[in-house]
Each structure stands twice: as C-alpha cells, then as structure tokens.
Structure 1
Amino acid sequence: MSQGLIEAGKGAGAARAAGSAGVSRRTFLKLGAAAGGGLLLGFSVGALGQGDTTDANAARKSVIGGDGNEAPQPGVFEPNAFVQIDRAGKVTLIMPKVEMGQGTYTSLPMLIAEELEVPLDSVTIDHAPPDAKLFFDPLLGGQLTGGSTSIRYAWEPLRRAGATARVVLIAAAAQQWQVDPATCHAKNGEVLHDASGRRAPYGSLVDAAAKVPLPQNVPLKAPKDFTLIGKPTKRLDSPEKVDGSALFGLDVRLPGMVYAAIVNCPVFGGTLARVDDTHAKQIPGVTQIVKVDNAVAVIGAHTWAAKRGAAALVIEWNEGAAAQLSMRQIVGELAEAAQNGQGAVARKDGDVQQAFGAAKTRVDAVYQQPFLAHATMEPMNCTVHVRADACEIWVGTQVPTRTVDAGVAVTGLKPEQIVVHNHLLGGGFGRRLEVDHITQALKVGKAVNAPVKVLYTREEDIQHDMYRPYYYDRISAGLDANGKPVAWQHRIVGSSIIARFAPPVFKNGLDPDAVEVASDLPYDLPNQLVDYVRQEPHTVPTAFWRGVGPTRGTFVVESFIDECAVAAKTDPVLYRRNLLGKTPRALNVLDVATRAANWGPPVPKGQGRGVSVMHAFGSYFAMVADVTVTNGEVRVNRVVCAVDCGMSVNPETIEAQVQGGVVFAISAVLWGEVTIERGRVTQNNFTDYRVLRIDEAPRIEVHIVQSTEAPGGIGEPGTAALAPAVTNAIYAATGTRLRQLPVGRQLMNAQSA
C-alpha cells in the first residue's frame, strides 16, 4: 500500500483543510475538484436542507438515489462518502471512520473498489475532516466511530458512491467514442469497448466525466457478481504498522515541540491546593510548570525531563467530599437501589407476577460486574498548539467533531479556527470516544508558547481513566413443570453513560445501552419484566467500554440461562435450543458452534465446557469455551465461535476481530477489576491490572456463517459473548457458580469458603 494510506493526496488534503477550516460544502466540493485536477464525487443525505443546495451537475454533488434537487426529507439521516479520482487515475477515499485496529482502512475501501472496478491497492485514504453534517452516522447520532457500526453505516452508501462514479466514467468514455454506454464496461480502473478494442484509463476521463449529468438510482452489483467483497483480503495498513511508518498520535513530532507530563489529583473530584516545584525546576530540561484545575503539568524539552520533573513535585491536594469513597459504599448503594429503587421499564410482556405464582420452580440470582479500565496499548496523548487566533490539535480520536467542540470550549476560538489532525489510534475500546484528555491538553497548551505534547503515563492512564460502570443485577425466573421459563424478571442497576454522553437518548429514566441484550433476548419467554435503575457512583467517571451494553447484559442473561438449565436438569445447549425456535439465526450459530466444539462427550476432570448465545450489534453469535481449573487458577484452553454477521466484507477482518475481542475479554473476565478506596483507584499498572499474555492465549476458532442478510457489526461481539461461556465452563468443571467478576478472585474466595 502506498504512503497515501497515511498521507493524503493533494485533492483530499485540500478537502481536509477546507473541512477543518469550516468552509461551506459548496467550497469544499469545488476546492477538492480544483486541487486534485480531477473528479470529486460527494454523496450526502444526512441533514438535508441544513447545508448548501448547490446544483448537482455544477458542483458534482449527489444525493444518493437522486440528483441533489429533491425536497429535503426532515429526520432522515444517511451516511456520507467522498470519492476523488485525479487525472493520474488515483482514487482517494475520504474516510468517514477512524482506524483503531478494527480493519476499516481495508473493509471500507473494499466497498468502493468493488463497485468502482478498481484494484483495492489503488485506493488511498485520507482522514475525514470534522463535519457533523457531511459525515453523520445515523446509527450513532453524529460523526463517531464505535458501536460496531462502520460496515453497517457504509454498506450501501460507499458501494453506491463507487457504482455512481463508475457509471459516470463509462458514460464519459461512450460520449467520446460515440457509442452506446451499454456496450462499454469497466475493469481495473479502465473503461473498455470490446467491439472496437478501445480502452480509456479513468484518469483520462475525469474532465469529461465532470460534464456528464449524474445518474439516479444506479443499480448495485448482485452478490453473485462480487469479485472482492466476501473474499479474504490482507490488511492494507499492516505494512506501515510493521515498518513503523504508520502515524499514531504518539508519533507526532513538530518543530519547537515540548513535552508535558501530567500529575492529576489522585482523588476523583479533588482539586489542586498548592505545589512546591522548587526541585522540579532544577531538573535539566524542565522549562515550565503549569497548574490546571485538578492537575499539574511539567513541561520539558523531552519526555524524560518532564517525567523526572513530575516526580520531583511536592503537591498538596484539596481531596474533597470523595476522599472517603470506597467500594463498600458504592456496592451498598447499588444493592439498595436494586432492592428499593423505582425502575424505568425497558420491556414488559404478559403478567409476570401471575406467571411467578403459577410457576413450579423459582430461580433467583444477583450478578455483579466491576469497574473496568480501557488500558489502551497506545497511552493517552494529545498534542496541541494554542495561539491567539488559531488552535491545532494532533490526536487519535473516535470523535473529531467533539474534539473541535473541546477546542472551542477551552480556547474561546470559533470552530473554523480549530484544526484537527486525526491519526491512527493505538486502541480505542471506547476510551477515545472521550475528550477529557484533549480538554486537559488544551488547558496546558494555553499556558505554553509552543506546540506541546501531553502524555499520560500508564499509571496516570489507569488511575484517571473513565471506567466501564459497576453494574448490579437482580434476576429471577419461574419455571414450569418441564423446566421452561414462564416468568422472567430482570432489574439492572448502574451508572448511565448515555445520560452524560447523549442526553436526548436518555428518556424517562431509561438508558437503552444499559439494558441492551437484556431487553431483547433471542429466547421465547412469554412473561417478561426488564427495568433499569440509574445509580451513579458519586464522582467516579464512567464511559463506554468495548462491547458496551451487550457485554454486561450477555454475562448476566447467559449465566442465568445456565442456572435455569441446571434447575431443569437439562443440558445447557439443549435447554437453549428449546427456547430458540423463533430465532432461527441464533439457533443456527448455536448448532454450528457446538458441532465444531464437539459438545456432548465428557471432558477430563478439572476441565469444563461452557456456552453462550448472543444477538447484538446486528449479528448473531455463539461461543463455546473450554477451561481448566487448577488450585483456583483458570486457564482458557480453547474458544470456538460461530458468527452470523450477515454478508461478510472481509472474512479475515471478521476472524481477527473475534480473536482480538476474545483475548480482550479474557483479560477482563479472569482479572479485570478497578477498585476504589479513599476516593482513588488502587490499581496503577499492568502489574495489578493484569492483561492476558501471549503464552496464555487460547486456541480460537472462528466459523463464519454464510448469509445474504445485510451486514451486522463485528468489532465487539467477541468481547461481549465471552464472559458467560467461561463462567459456565468453570461451573461445569468445579460445580461453583460465579455471579461476580473477575472470576480469579471470586473463585479463590468460593473455594476457600
């Protein structure tokens, strides 16, 4: 892959600069065409009527399925894609999503290349500028990357962008040759006319194509005609990541740049009282000490100077009201809310109380899941240069428009004065959906007369993360004489991320993320009551974590389904099969996974096998985990996954994402836990916030179900489905039911009791 994957071509670079400067879409499109000397096709339907309504054939703007002149459709939002083809024939995709290891820099170009009929390695990529209208994702409500939505968002719009460009280029060639366009076709970046043997590379046609009226409702390829989509394809961004030329936020180097090491108040909600920086200023290379709200930043000529200076500070904090906050208090309040709180109803089917009264057997349980850190491999960082009339930000972020908002809020500048240079992300996992580190960098940058890179050490990162919430669930089922659930009640208690992150979505006390999976089970349950009680953990900040709501919901539901199977004296796979008759795709993945795992025959003593089923992110997932338990230590030996994510774009990406999700989840399930004592996080590095090591990784098998359904998400299901498969396997091995994570500590406690 060419360096264009990381560094934009001229036209795309001009588009980025235009978007960052806040120019109009009319100017954006004209600028791109002029700078690239070629054809710029823009496709946008989000927020119609809110932006420019330039004539389609004058500025090459097209509404998908139309000519750009239709009346606006209020409330309808669809994604955006931009394809630039220059006179050299180079194709540039202005990427509407960021790359953080999930494979979008390969799978999304595949959609364009398939319909445009160009080789995949000829498509170069540029980060999209912050533009909430142009790059609006209706699945997420903004210009965001997350929620396993990238392929779902781009599946039709990017294919249509490529198809429309191809049809226009064919029409331009046919006009030049004075032949019927139907007698021409495109292949490998050229238009061909077989009858005469003539051929024209795309680059030679872009000027003529600019004069061709844009077609409406261009048909897309039928799946049977795909030559690229669905085929295993090597990652295009791997070479740069292997040879070190790929640019992450941490790699930013600027003339005159200085470095900042941050020391944050260890207590949530605390502030800076005073600091003695005498010794810090004596460290060679330390140039400045900056005080900001709840932190002190030491500025140095290099990272080592800044870090040594930070260690030499003598700081006194105003610890505030949270100084006595402990896990005992947090969990106690969650338990009380679960018992006495008023729940917002997420689902209510039938008469649950009457069904419980008629049930033969009742099963009750309480499940708890801890705070978790993100611990991204690339430590949190942000480089800023704040000047009187402009501000530049270099960062890897999942939320470019929110980054601009942070710049405006801190500097007081106008949005068009904020320029964001987005980079590859060394892991996101939801952490880089937040802008707290960007805001802090901007505050530091206001006091520094130079570009400054603000770095979090691993300790600062783990102790000042925004954590996956602690959740407390009470769940009950009433079983009939055959062991089938006839009553189901589930109360979910915990922090609401949605209420903070997207307030309009938090309605009537209900957080849809908190109840996801729990409120939409694949099982046939006639009487259900699922509700949610919001209980915030005082000053502890919470945020999305890879797998979001389904991670928490699937652990509880799939563990409890196993408990019901035990109460019914039924094999857990057979028990699930009997409840999945109305969800054939879920039943199918369960069958695929259990066959591949050879479910049924007994396993050696000390070993166990567990299963889970999940429908989330538009995909269906089943997982079988094999574990060994020795003296309280759990080792995951093998994980077999069956995936129905609809039509697959790149099977290699799917397999890699499932593998990565499983490994990420094993770390959390076995050891992941953030605990609060005296208002501060007690963990500080990978020594006590443990992650899976390479020699501990299990064998992971991924079986992709062929499907003609629209694509679902794949980045998070592997993480979300893992926990109950492991805990169910531990029960099979030991007879100990674990209802609280992480299992390492809980299993030790259970076996010593």
Structure 2
Amino acid sequence: MQWAAISVAAARTCASGARSIAPPRRCDMRVVKVSRRDFVKPIGTFVHVGTDGIVTIYVAKSEMGQGVRTALPMIVADEMDADWKKVRIRQADLDKKYGRQGTGGSGSIRTMWSPMRQAGATARTMLVSAAATKWGVDAKDCAVAKGVVTHGSKEATFGELAAAASRLEVPKDVALKDPSKFTIIGKKADRLDNRDLMQGKGTYGIDVRVPGMLYGAVLRSPVFGGKVVSFDDSKAKAIPGVKAVVKIDPHGAEAPWAGVGVVADSTWAAFKGRDALIVKWDEGDAKSETTASLMDQMRDLVTKEGKRVRNEGDVDAALASAAKKIEATYELPYLAHATMEPMNATASVTADGIEIWGPTQFPDWWGGAAGGAVGFTKPEQAKVHVTLLGGGFGRRAFPDVAVEAAILSKAVGKPVKVQWTRADDMQHDFYRPANVQRVVAALDNDGKVTAWHHRLAAAAINTYMGRGEPHESEMFDDEQLPLNVPNVRAEFASAKSYVPRGWWRSVENSSNAFVVQSFIDELAHAAGKDPIEFQLSLIPTGKKIERKGGSAPYPYESDRLRRVIELVREKSNWGKSLPSGRARGFAAWHSFLTYVAEVAEVSVNKDGTPRVHRIVAAIDCGTAVNPDGVAAQVEGAVVYGLSAALAEAITIKNGAVEQSNFHDFPLLTIDQMPVVEVHIVPSTALPTGTGEPGLPPTAPAVANAIFALTGKRLRKLPFGTLSS
C-alpha cells in the first residue's frame, strides 16, 4: 500500500483535536511503501502511531530551513512521552482541519505551541487509556516514558496500543506537563530530515515531477505595470519542443505581472521559446520612475509635516530649549528576497479543480489565488502540496508563480511547471520598501534625551497591497522608541512608487532598527556616554505594556530587553581592549515579541570595505524549544542582515529593476562570514519568534562599530566602501 493512499485515508478518518506524526519518509513527493498492517486510524488530526511504534507527526507549517519540521514534533513528542528515535514527520497538505497553515511573521512555534502540546497530551491520554482498559487498572496509576506505558510489571509499547487507542473518543480536556518535566523541549536536537537533505533526497519545488507534466516559462513586462499590446510567437513556435504560447494578464497586486507564457516539453525548450518571442509592451506611467526620483521624493517628504501617528508631551518646546540638538537623515533602498531556489510552481487544472505542488509559505493563499485565476472559487476545489522551500523570507507567501502555472495548465489541459530564472526572480519581486527617515532629538545639560521627533517616508506595503493604513506596515511600535523620553512625536508620509512591495525578513524592523539604534548611538556619543549605558538609561525598569488580540499573552517587558543587553555586554567583553584596527558596536531591538541584543566587532579592509569579524548575540525568545534551532535562526538572520548592510540594493531605471543576479546583488560569501555567538536567556515563558528578530540589530551594530573605529557615521544602506 502506498503512503500517499494512507495520507488520504488519514485525512478522511481523523477527528479534530490532536495533531499527527508519520512513518519514515524519504522525501515529500516520493512514494514510501507502508504495510497495511501498520496502518491504524490516526489519533486526532496531527498524530499517527503505527503498530510498529513509529510516531508520525504531521507538520502544517512550511519548512524553509528554519527547522520547524523538527521543533514542532519536539513539542508533540515531549507531551506524548514518545521515544524521539521513533518520531517521523510528514508534511501536511492544505486542509482546513490544520487551521492556519501560513508560515510567516516568526509565528510557527508561537502559534502552534499550545495546539501541539494539546496534540501530544491528547495522544498520550488516549494511549494510556487504552493500556489501562487492557489491564483493568486506573489510568492515573500508569506511567509513560519513551513510548512505553507501564503499570507495575505490566508494559505495552505505543505500537501495541495504537489500534485500541485510535478507537477511543478524543478527550476534550487533557492535562499538560509541568515545564519542569520536559525531556525533549529545551534540549538540542538534530533535525529529523537532516539525513535526507544531506543525501539529496528532500524534494523542493524545483524537484517536482508529475506524470504528463509540461514546462512553462514566462516573458514578463520589464517595466512594472506594463501590459502586452501584441506579440509575435512564430519564432517561438518553431523551437523544437514548444507546445503552446499563452498570453497572461495580471491578477491584482498579488500576481501583477503581464506577460506571455511558453509551454514546452522541457525547461530548456520553454526558455528558448521565450527568448524567441517578440512582444510589444505598453509600459505605462511606471516608466518614469527611477531610484533617484523616488529618493528625492522621500527626502522632500521628511522635511514636511506628515501624518502624526504618535504625539506625546511638547516636542517643539523641548527642542527649542535643548542644550544640544542632534539631527540625522537615513536612507534605505529597495531589497529583493533573493531566495536561493528561484520561484517555481506546478499546477494541474481539470474540470473539477486545481492541484498545486510547490514551495509556498501560504498554501491557502496559493490555492485561492491560483484557483480563482482559472475559475475555481471554492476552497475545496484547490489542493496544495507543500514541498521544501529553498528559502522564503516572505517572498514565497505571494502566489504569482502559482497563478502563472494555473493559467498555462488550463490553456494546454495538462500539468505545467513554471520555472523562473534568477533574473526573473530579481526583477519581479515584492521588494522591501525603500524609505527615508529624519530624526531630531534634544539633549539637556546632563546628556539626557528630552525630545525625539521622527519622520518616516516610505513606499508602503499596505499602499501597494490596498489594505489598512499606509503607516501600519512601516512604523515602529511604541516600545521600539526610547520609553524614557518625555516628549515624542512620530510622523509618516506615504511616497508614490510603482514598484511592488512585500514582506521581507523582519519587515519594517530591518529599516527602523537601523535608524533608531544608529541614532541612539549618535546621541550617546554626543552626550559623552558609553553606548550601552546610555541605551539602558532610555529603558525603564519594570515597565510592562499590555497587548491585545493574539498578542495578549505576550506583554512587552522592559526588564527582558535590559537582560539581553546586559548579557551581550558580558559575553562580548564590551569595554575591554581589542587589537589595533578593530572596534565594537552595539544595538538591541524588540520585534516579533522577542528581545535581541548584538555586539559587532569590525575592522576596515585596505579597499575601504567593512570587515565584520564577530557578532555576539543575546536572545530572549521565551521557551527555546530547540536551542540549536534558535541559534541557527539567529545566525541565518545575521547573514541576511549583513548581506543587506554591506552590499545589497535594488535600483530602478525607467520603471525596471537594474539588477539581475548575484554579480550585482551580492550575498554574503563564506569568506566574509563572521564568527557568530548566540546566547539564549533561560526561560519558561511562552515561546516567541526566532526567524526574524536576529536581523534588525545587525546593521546598526556594525554601523556603530565602524563609527567607533573611524569616526564616520553611516546613515545610508548599503555601506559599500567607506570612501564612497
């Protein structure tokens, strides 16, 4: 019996409640043989226990290198008291029974902590109940450890109890473990899929093969918002292997690309056919946009009053009476996500619905958008199979490539895999917004900050997406500005840009932390004070800010931010001497409900480029489910943040992106990689995000270190060479 058939059966027979665990699998899309005798009804939605004792956990979040397919099973397995060596994983397809399957906002562990604990505890309760019934004893007198239930001299493995447990009614209320009893959570664990990934057995979207599949490539308007006026496909159709040429219209902000698609019997033939197309474009109004025109627009906006989103005290009076007034303007460019696996998706459209295979962060969005583009509006008409993601960073939330695959599949009546090139990806992204920020602050005679006036101008994500207020996707939270300042004003101005914008790793925090933390360092030096001591003076002790909605359990606590600052000061040897030609810089930031502080140790190369030797980071993310995974996430965030700080920028000329590959949008290379030390604050608090919070402090820590070394302030990203 094929495992694919088993997963279908599981979906049809599971009850709501606990979550699933799976038999060993070679990879997401390949067939694994499983004996019928090993298959029993799943224990709830997420957990399956085979008669061989293998515990299979269904993971309903996307794996893009962050280790979620290990961390979530750890939570379930701990509550189950399962044998970790017998835990396997299965990637869940799109299904409403799993709840919200989107992966973003550093929210997987935070949002799944309680459901996965509940899942494990439910499975454990049912297995113990099955054993107690079998032995005629009270369930509360039974013990469980490493997948074995015992009562006195009696014992039974999970596998021996699985069939009986699966026939029980799923309990509504179960007891969760006291955190002091955790045996798996909080311990370093190797990733469950490491071996498959190292052996090339993991299936990414680019690896998908479907019987009868054809291949698609799309020539998109190079100018944002451009439209197809006409096209000549005669030369394209003459390419051997080309089957069809299809016009593609934009489908809203989520799939904005107009173009012409070529369908062929190989990727190469599709690319060659695309190269042979002759298209006449209507380039529209966007052709007038350049990076220079956008930056000039935003520089002008920050000299004028914008929309006040925060106004406390009397900023004008405090600035007028200041002993010293400090002001600075910061500029940040558009940035591409540059996922290592270029965008791709495979779609099969039939009369009954659409089936999609691909590396998506939001399978429900992909299913809805791609289905809608070909006439299917009901959720049940879209099936989405989530593969491994070769990087996501927010880019793979957007369904544009799935929409293209769906349109081409419908046109030819066969499954079609659309594959983008690196240039496609670089020039048709949803970019991190460019912005300009101007900050003015007042210092009194004692060096205390008495006023903070902040203006931010940006081409906002919300403006592009047509949702919410523009400032809501760009501005900082209250606690991200110094809380011990009595007079604060923050203003926002929305810049006009035709460039598509989207969520880039850490979203607005990547920009705002650079500005706020760089400026605080400027104030510290202006006041003649140590930067860390000065920062601590701006953070009150014992301050708590309550939150609403889903964030209500996670109030901002100033003492936790102070703790990571003090920890990184200790671990980085702050204040102690360094070899000649080196200096340290510091920054701290609270984002995604997590507290991070970093110290960078830098020098300057002979060619004037910064060299980062060491980053020391301290993080408080509540309960660290897998400390090794937390450290890896911070390390990855540092890499991403350093790439952006040192060299990356997307520039626009005549309404189109100038960059096309890594030669002109360079990522951090292994020889540039600093030593990264991650120190995790021990905690039993609810877990919070770790995928993004390590990024925001990186650029300002490096910039502040460069100032300490050279006396030069870097207020524009990327840094480039210090002489430029």
TM-score by length of 2: 0.89
Which residue pairs with 2:676 in the alignment?
700
* Counterpart secondary structure, 2:723: helix
Matched, 1:562 2:521: yes
What CA distance in whole angstroms lies between the structure 2 residues aligned with 1:710 and 1:275? 57
Task: Give the AA of the match of 2:415.
Answer: P
Q: What is the CA distance between 1:711 and its match in structure 2?
A: 1.2
Judge conservation of contact 1:39–1:209 (CA < 8 Å) in 2: no
* Counterpart secondary structure, 2:650: coil
Q: Deviations over 1:454-507 (max 9, x none)?
A: 11100111011110000111212111211111111222221332455583xx2x
Q: What is the CA distance between 1:335 and its match in structure 2?
A: 2.5
Which residue pairs with 1:616 in the alignment?
591
Which residue pairs with 1:485 in the alignment?
449
What CA distance in whole angstroms lies between the structure 2 residues aligned with 1:212 and 1:687? 60
Which residue pairs with 2:495 in the alignment?
535
One of 503, 506, 509 as aligned partner of 1:550:
509
Q: What is the CA distance between 1:85 and its match in structure 2?
A: 2.7
After superposition, residues 636-675 of structure 1 pair within 5 angstroms as 636-675=612-651
Task: Give the AA of the match of 1:85.
Answer: V
Judge conservation of contact 2:513–2:696 (CA < 8 Å) in 1: yes
Q: Deviations over 1:423-468 (max 9, x none)?
A: 1111000001111121122222222232111111001110111100
Judge conservation of contact 2:464–2:501 (CA < 8 Å) in 1: no
What CA distance in whole angstroms lies between the structure 1 residues aligned with 2:37 and 2:233? 51
After superposition, residues 322-341 of structure 1 pair within 5 angstroms as 322-340=286-304
Q: 1:210/1:419 Cα in 2 relative to 1: closer, same or farther (>3 Å)? A: closer
* Counterpart secondary structure, 1:168: helix
Which residue pairs with 2:82 in the alignment?
118
* Counterpart secondary structure, 1:372: coil
Which residue pairs with 2:392 in the alignment?
428
TM-score by length of 1: 0.86
Q: What is the CA distance between 1:84 and its match in structure 2?
A: 2.6
Judge conservation of contact 2:442–2:450 (CA < 8 Å) in 1: yes
Q: What is the CA distance between 1:311 and its match in structure 2?
A: 2.1
Identity %: 42
After superposition, residues 504-519 of structure 1 pair within 5 angstroms as 506=468, 509=469, 511-517=471-477
What CA distance in whole angstroms lies between the structure 2 residues aligned with 1:394 and 1:623? 39
What CA distance in whole angstroms lies between the structure 2 residues aligned with 1:213 and 1:299? 51
What CA distance in whole angstroms lies between the structure 2 residues aligned with 1:327 and 1:417? 42
After superposition, residues 36-185 of structure 1 pair within 5 angstroms as 38-42=40-44, 82-131=46-95, 134-137=97-100, 143-185=101-143
Q: Deviations over 1:268-306 (max 9, x none)?
A: 011122333333333332232222232122222212222
Q: What is the CA distance between 1:131 and its match in structure 2?
A: 4.0
Matched, 1:748 2:707: no
Q: Deviations over 1:588-626 (max 9, x none)?
A: 211221222221134445433211011111211110111
Q: What is the CA distance between 1:519 and its match in structure 2?
A: 5.4
Q: What is the CA distance between 1:652 and its match in structure 2?
A: 0.6
Q: 1:315/1:266 Cα in 2 relative to 1: closer, same or farther (>3 Å)? A: same
Q: Deviations over 1:334-370 (max 9, x none)?
A: 223323353141x333332333233321111111111
Q: 1:8/1:95 Cα in 2 relative to 1: closer, same or farther (>3 Å)? A: farther
What CA distance in whole angstroms lies between the structure 1 residues aligned with 2:9 and 2:450? 62
Q: What is the CA distance between 1:250 and its match in structure 2?
A: 0.6
What CA distance in whole angstroms lies between the structure 2 residues aligned with 1:178 and 1:366? 75
What CA distance in whole angstroms lies between the structure 2 residues aligned with 1:394 and 1:510? 34
What CA distance in whole angstroms lies between the structure 2 residues aligned with 1:678 and 1:210? 63
Q: 1:107/1:560 Cα in 2 relative to 1: closer, same or farther (>3 Å)? A: same
What CA distance in whole angstroms lies between the structure 2 residues aligned with 1:589 and 1:554? 16
Task: Give the AA of the match of 1:404.
Answer: G
What CA distance in whole angstroms lies between the structure 2 residues aligned with 1:711 and 1:35? 39
| Segment of structure 1 superposing worse, 730-739 or 295-304 | 295-304
What CA distance in whole angstroms lies between the structure 1 residues aligned with 2:56 and 2:463? 38
One of 433, 438, 441 as aligned partner of 1:474:
438
What CA distance in whole angstroms lies between the structure 1 residues aligned with 2:383 and 2:682? 43
* Counterpart secondary structure, 2:602: strand
Which residue pairs with 1:573 in the alignment?
532
What CA distance in whole angstroms lies between the structure 2 residues aligned with 1:498 and 1:152? 24
Q: 1:386/1:339 Cα in 2 relative to 1: closer, same or farther (>3 Å)? A: same
Q: 1:239/1:375 Cα in 2 relative to 1: closer, same or farther (>3 Å)? A: same
After superposition, residues 196-235 of structure 1 pair within 5 angstroms as 197-210=153-166, 212=168, 214-235=170-191
After superposition, residues 446-461 of structure 1 pair within 5 angstroms as 446-461=410-425
Matched, 1:416 2:418: no
Matched, 1:628 2:591: no
Judge conservation of contact 2:81–2:144 (CA < 8 Å) in 1: yes
* Counterpart secondary structure, 1:632: coil
Matched, 1:189 2:147: yes
Task: Give the AA of the match of 2:145.
Answer: K
* Counterpart secondary structure, 1:94: strand
What CA distance in whole angstroms lies between the structure 2 residues aligned with 1:449 and 1:210? 41
* Counterpart secondary structure, 1:407: helix
Q: Considering only aligned residues, what root-mean-square deviation do their CA atoms show, in Å?
A: 2.5
| Segment of structure 1 superposing worse, 733-742 or 509-518 | 509-518
Q: What is the CA distance between 1:308 and its match in structure 2?
A: 2.0
What CA distance in whole angstroms lies between the structure 2 residues aligned with 1:659 and 1:10? 39
One of 435, 438, 444 as aligned partner of 2:402:
438
Q: 1:211/1:683 Cα in 2 relative to 1: closer, same or farther (>3 Å)? A: closer
Judge conservation of contact 1:402–1:435 (CA < 8 Å) in 2: yes
One of 277, 296, 299 as aligned partner of 2:260:
296
Matched, 1:351 2:300: no
Q: Deviations over 1:113-156 (max 9, x none)?
A: 00101122423333333345x4445xxxxx31111111111222
Judge conservation of contact 1:229–1:648 (CA < 8 Å) in 2: yes
What CA distance in whole angstroms lies between the structure 2 residues aligned with 1:563 and 1:163? 51
* Counterpart secondary structure, 2:330: strand
Judge conservation of contact 1:160–1:220 (CA < 8 Å) in 2: yes
| Segment of structure 1 superposing worse, 643-652 or 577-586 | 577-586
One of 179, 202, 218 as aligned partner of 1:246:
202
What CA distance in whole angstroms lies between the structure 2 residues aligned with 1:570 and 1:254? 64
Q: 1:492/1:36 Cα in 2 relative to 1: closer, same or farther (>3 Å)? A: farther
Judge conservation of contact 2:10–2:41 (CA < 8 Å) in 1: no
Q: What is the CA distance between 1:96 and its match in structure 2?
A: 2.3
| Segment of structure 1 superposing worse, 622-631 or 216-225 | 216-225
Q: What is the CA distance between 1:561 and its match in structure 2?
A: 0.2
What CA distance in whole angstroms lies between the structure 2 residues aligned with 1:737 and 1:18? 63
Task: Give the AA of the match of 1:126.
Answer: R
* Counterpart secondary structure, 2:472: coil
* Counterpart secondary structure, 1:478: strand
Aligned length: 682
What CA distance in whole angstroms lies between the structure 2 residues aligned with 1:17 and 1:647? 35
Which residue pairs with 2:565 in the alignment?
590
Judge conservation of contact 2:315–2:452 (CA < 8 Å) in 1: yes
